[in-house]
Amino acid sequence: MIELLTGLLFLWWFMVGFNFFKLVGSPWMIIQPLFWLIVGMVLLAIFMTDILYMVIPFSLNLMLFSLSLLYRVCLTGFGIMDPKDLKNAVIAGIGLCSFFLIVQILTKKIKKVDGFGLGDILMAPALGLLLGWPKIIPAMFASFLFGSIVGILLIISGKKKIGQYIPFGPFLIIGAAVGLIWGGGIWAWYMSLIV
């Protein structure tokens, strides 16, 4: 299992960090792949910790948020990213965090259960910064879709009962990967259907 996850981490690094978002010019040729490798390792640690212990440590969320904010601010400061994109990424993070909090409050009030764990809620701003607008939308759709499918399969197989907790962090991470790699294309396709 660890070997598979390590292989996926380096595939992530190649596709997302070194190939997909490659910026030209020093020092970004080194900083950008390094950033995505570190982000991949943090996301892998969150993924495994949430699966094994059903908790996302605050320290990992803080590291992910700090790295994402620093990266976006530096890209904007160097003129590589439009300041409007930074603003939209911040709004995406605040919006996602607010949505998770509303779901948490409503599920606690109506069904007397937690809709999201605190770790999921605290990961939302970092995901907003990483993905930005509009990639956050397909990413969250993918997260909820994969989470629902796995949850239904676990209930059908008898491994979980309705009302039991399933860690959602791994699905947020899978959705984030979908959003980073295919989010722009998915969003463009969706907008072409409704316009």
What percentage of the chain carries pLDDT values higher than 70? 87
Q: How far apart are CA 117 and CA 69, in angstroms?
A: 23
Whole-prediction pTM: 0.87
Mean pLDDT of the residues in the chain: 87
Q: DSSP letters of 96-120?
A: HHHHHHHHHHHHHHHTSS-SS-HHH
Q: Work out the average pLDDT over 46-57.
A: 93
C-alpha distance from residue 140 to each of 117, 156, 187 (Å): 16, 24, 12
Quick one: pLDDT band at residue 109, thresholds 50, 70, 90? confident
Residue boundaries of the structural domains of the chain: 2-194
Q: Give the pLDDT mean for 68-83.
A: 92
